[in-house]
Amino acid sequence: MYLWIIAAFTAYFIKGLCGFANTLVFTSILSFGAANANISPVELLIGYPTNFILTWKNRKSLDYKVYLPLAALVLAGCIPGALLLKNADVSNIKVIFGNVAVLFGLEMLFRDKKRVEGNPLSQSSPRSRLTFGAVGLLAGVLCGLFGVGALLAVYVDRVTDSGSEFKANISAVFIADNTFRIILYSALHLLTFDTLKSALMLIPIAILGLFAGMKSSSLLKEKTVRRMMAVLLILSGVSLTLQNM
């Protein structure tokens, strides 16, 4: 249980700092000794209240044009993701996702460097409907499978201009995803009494980590936080790949 406590505090400190990556960190720490089908439901219940906290904290930066359509696409992808979680060996999928996370992390670092050099690539980047749909559906599958929002982070990072906008909109999407997955996991019997008991024990630890991360975020430059987000993606991707090869 001590490892679960460490994982909860660390993962939600990162969430408070960057707005995402809690699932990647939580899963990476625990996947050496627990099955993903046991980890994901617990992390889902822990993450639910923290997403409401982040959304409320940054509510003035919410943009319905960002979070509503993306939430719809994510929900559409959750069903196949959850079914894979229940019925399939997901080791190979984890390896693929780990490599994808590394590539996205490198892309975010490169794009951030371009911003610093005076070539902003956020709002000026083209918002292809095809790309938007593909990213949203794949993000939904990954959320249903692992609860992982890395693809969401990449997309929302492209269409927002500040840390508060990023955290507000990605947390709003996570709320929709979490609500749907709680219902879906319950129907698939992935949520049990033991899952609920473990989550209730870990939620105070997670909220403590979240507020510590939020406080740290307010003390750091936004450029530093953005680079940390990219590095977290890369490290999490490498961890997932190595654990499942």
pLDDT per position as a tens digit, 100-155: 778 777 877 776 655 544 444 344 444 566 766 676 667 666 665 665 666 777 77
In angstroms, the Cα distances linking 71 to 12, 64, 139, 226 are 22, 10, 10, 23
Q: Which two tokens stand for residue 66?
A: 């960002």
pLDDT given for residue 128 in this prediction? 61
Q: Which range in 15-24, 63-72, 169-178, 204-213 is most confidently predicted, on average pLDDT?
A: 204-213
Nearest-angstrom CA–CA distance, 105 and 94: 16
**Percentage of the residues of the chain whose pLDDT score is greater than 90:** 23
Q: Comparing C-alpha atoms, which of 238, 42, 223, 13 is closest to residue 120?
A: 223
Q: Decide: residue 99, CB within 10 A, 0-12 exposed, 13-18 middle, 19+ buried.
A: middle
Q: Comparing C-alpha atoms, which of 18, 8, 80 is closest to residue 233?
A: 18
Q: Which two tokens stand for residue 64?
A: 């319905």
Contact 140, 177 (CB under 8 A): yes
Q: Which range in 67-71, 147-151, 210-214 is most confidently predicted, on average pLDDT?
A: 210-214
* pLDDT over 80 at 35, yes or no: no
pLDDT band (50, 70, 90) for residue 185: confident
Mean pLDDT, the chain, integer: 79
Averaged pLDDT for residues 42-61: 93
**Percentage of the residues of the chain whose pLDDT score is greater than 70:** 74
pLDDT given for residue 113 in this prediction? 57
Task: Count Cα atoms within 13 angstroms, Cβ side, for 206.
Answer: 28
Nearest-angstrom CA–CA distance, 184 and 204: 25
Q: Comparing C-alpha atoms, which of 47, 82, 83, 37 is closest to residue 173?
A: 47
Nearest-angstrom CA–CA distance, 44 and 179: 9
Q: What is the value of pTM for the model shown?
A: 0.77
Q: Which range in 132-141, 151-160, 178-187 is most confidently predicted, on average pLDDT?
A: 178-187
